[in-house]
A and B are shown apart, each in its own frame.
Chain A
Amino acid sequence: MVFASIFFLLFFLPVFLSIYGYVADRFRNLVLLIASLLFYAYGAPLFIWVLAASTFLNFYFVRRMDAELERSRLWFRVSLVLNVGLLIVFKYANFTVESWNAMGLWTTGSWTKIALPIGISFFTFQSLSYTIDVYRREERPLKSPFHYFIYIFSFPQMIAGPIVRFGIVAKELVSREFNRKGIEEGAQRFIIGLAKKVIVANGIAASFPITGVEEWSIADAWLALLAYTFQIYFDFSGYSDMAIGLGRIMGFHFPENFNRPYSAKSFTDFWRRWHMTLSFWMRDYLYIGLGGNRNGVGRTYANLLTVFVISGFWHGASWNFLFWGLYHGLFLIIERLFLSNLLRKLPAFLAKLWTFFWVLIGWGIFALVDDVERGQLFGALINPVISASQDFSVWNEFTSGGPSAVLMALALLLTIFPAYSWWDRLVHSSGPKWWRYVAYSGLLVVSLAELTGSTFNPFIYFRF
């Protein structure tokens, strides 16, 4: 199930919130857990047992790790093997076998493809966060597997993040406030996220396809790449807003995941603003674990590259994700070598433009799994020759000033002036309180209308 679906918005969520709101405090976690299991089981009923068993085992291993000080390292490794092993088997086994086959290394074996459980990457990182935080003695382990299940499975963040580190919500897992302030703030945040996803991201995706184009024109290629750049941001940040909002309604305080990433002045800055919960997870658990910048310049660069290659690969089992991670890692190294100093001397808007341009190119690597399609796109981006067989349909539609042009303009506007604070200022700064309710209700109705009227509703981050 995804948040931006009619069934979730008009049945699952209202029923859940009604029950959650009416039961006594002590039953709320139970309601949340049942709803979360149903939410997950709706899309992947078989995987729920695998993930539940793994969650239960991890809880047990971490308890042992905490109780047996002399063997804590052993239990820590067992937990790592369990979590990382699960991710490797489900997410990367198919890719590994296909790559071996392609290289002629395993031509005789037969292989049954393994299906990918939804949200396995987020699931694994949250489990690892619990293990590592307890191992480092930064947090005490939970006493009850029930609360651990809530941490892992709670439906607002399970499918597509944000990656909520254990320490951030450890206390709220056991006790949190469910009150009017939280409901209002959460609902508003949720509606903003829904609108970003449904109106902007889906609208752009429908108008500017980046796959299936037979012969790109240079204009269509650049437009499609720009559109994808906006689409992925509004899609993912919209989903994060919805998750944060839902959490807030229930009394959780999930961490922010985006902070105007396309206004970054460098790649280093970009990764402090884009998918922040992943960046910080990688920094705190992997980069620092590898030694960070404590072992000389060469080792620091190697660590950076390792972290970014793994980060890229985390997004999907395909070479393009790995190259995308490598691309970003290399830019970070170049910035450390000399580029940061240059960028700092530039006027802010030029530094932003420079960074945006190269991030945009990076999305070209990220967007297309198929090598041939990717080659065609990049070929078209640098081919100024125009021929009659080339596709100009997107460019023509865009320049006619139709809905797609308005959406791109809206995306640009919301990227420069971040959606939430912009809307927040407009709605909250002045006027009577009812105006706020009217504004948010209106945005919700428009989002629902868009979702209902258009059957096109892909969610990019579902596969990760």
Chain B
Amino acid sequence: MKNWRKIVLGVLINLPWLLWAFGVPDIAKLKGSRGPKVKIHTVVDQFEQEFWGRSMLIRLRNQFLYSVHNEIRARNVIQGPTGVLFEESYFKSTLGWDALDSATVSEKFDRFKNWQQESGVPLTFVVVPGKTSVVAREHWPEKYAHEKPTVQNANYHAFMKLFSSDTTLRFLDYVRRFNENPEAVYTTYPRNSVHWSEATNMVMTQEIVEGIQGIQVHIMDTTVGEPYGTEEDIEESMNLIFDLEDDPSVHFSRRWDSIAVPPKILIIGDSYAWGLLRAGLLNHTAKGSQFWYYNRTIHGPQVQQQGAHLRKYYAWESEEEFITTMSGFDQIIWVVVESNLKKFPFEIEYFKK
């Protein structure tokens, strides 16, 4: 074999570990859910999880399985006959399969109300419909399309009975609103996303802000274009090579107005609450405004340790300390999607009785 051929062949076969060793970023990095995290004990484990080219190999396999067998390699993701993608837990919620008993619902609500009363901070509570509550059954996958609900949206109805009787909080119920007005503007759930569209998210942000003194947001003009933000989040988690067919997406420009000393805001919620951050809410509120994701991790423009474990970050020893921290904010916004009501109010394990 000629020398130059030897060299080329030698370099080629060693490329995956050489590029990894020199820290060259992998092409087509993987996104989203990839299954249980593999424990890394040795450098061999690390290599097997990070070698250069790994992402593309996984995407190649995922693409083959999806294109040829319609098999989706992302946890709990399922596709309907018209190509709409869903996350399975939402069906369980809509069909009432995850219903809590009434005593548990009351207990959870009392706990939340106690936090609210003890902290004394004004509160806005936002409940968001899951995709399966909005998207018509003709788009549902066969597995669920013909299932009859035990009690439709059981947890939502149980909690809403209690929330609606509480006059001390501001309550935005998007589930009811979408059900009453299915033709509402911007209510679309993009076909390849688990979350609602960025435009819907902006409308929600605008409505929440309307109830908070000191800040305002205006939607200026809109155009139609490619999906963005979370509008392809399920598709991204599938880690394919080729793009799936998309719905048109509404883009907009916005303008924030705020007074010299805007309010200090705390957002608590699930993944829908990220939408408020993407819309820019915390950038136009007081320094120290924060987002507590599932009451588990801490985020915000001024937070030093982004994503730190909340309880460790504040070194809370008791539930009282947790409430005291909450009372340091001017306004608290809760955002919960109906399928997460079973986890509400995201109790910190440490404080569980």
Partner-B contacts on A (CB < 8 A) = 5-7, 10-11, 13-15, 17-18, 21-22, 179-180, 183, 402-403, 406, 445-446, 448-450, 452-455
Contacts and interface: CB of A to CB of B under 8 A. Distances in A.
Contacts of A448: 57
A18 B15 CA distance: 12
Interface string B25-58: 0000000000000100000100110010010011
Interface of B: 1, 6, 10, 13-14, 16-17, 38, 44, 47-48, 51, 54, 57-58, 60-62, 64-65, 69, 71, 73
B321 to A, nearest CB: 42
Nearest to A180: B1
A22 B6 contact: yes
Given A22-B6, A449-B64, 14 more contacts: A5-B48, A6-B47, A6-B51, A7-B47, A7-B48, A11-B51, A14-B13, A15-B17, A18-B10, A183-B1, A449-B60, A450-B61, A452-B58, A453-B73
A449 B57 CA distance: 4
Given A180-B1, A403-B65, A403-B71, A10 B51 contact: yes
B14 A14 contact: yes
Contacts of A18: 10, 13-14
Contact of B17 (A5, A10, A452): A10
B57 A445 contact: yes
Q: Give the 7 A-B residue pairs with the shortest CB-CB distance, closest first.
A: A453-B61, A14-B13, A449-B57, A449-B61, A452-B57, A449-B60, A10-B16
A14 B51 CA distance: 14
Nearest to B16: A10
Main secondary structure of the interface of B (DSSP, over half): helix
B143 to A, nearest CB: 12
Main secondary structure of the interface of A (DSSP, over half): helix
Contacts of B10: 18, 21-22
Nearest to B52: A10
A453 B13 contact: no
B65 A11 contact: no
A179 to B, nearest CB: 8
Nearest to B12: A14
A5 B57 CA distance: 14
10 contacts: A6-B51, A13-B13, A18-B13, A180-B1, A183-B1, A402-B71, A403-B65, A449-B61, A452-B61, A454-B61
Contact of B58 (A7, A11, A402, A449): A449
Contacts of A17: 13
Contacts of A14: 13-14, 17
Given A7-B44, A402-B69, A453 B17 contact: no
Contacts of A15: 14, 17
A452 B54 contact: yes
Contacts of B60: 445-446, 449
Contacts of B65: 403
A450 B60 CA distance: 9
Contacts of B62: 453
A65 B40 CA distance: 50
Contacts of B6: 21-22
Given A22-B10, A403-B65, A453 B48 contact: no
B60 to A, nearest CB: 4
A453 B64 CA distance: 11
Contacts of B61: 449-450, 452-454
B47 A11 contact: yes
Contacts of A179: 1
A17 B1 CA distance: 14
Nearest to B56: A449
B13 A6 contact: no
Contacts of A11: 16-17, 47, 51
A403 B47 CA distance: 29
Most buried by B among A14, A446, A450: A14
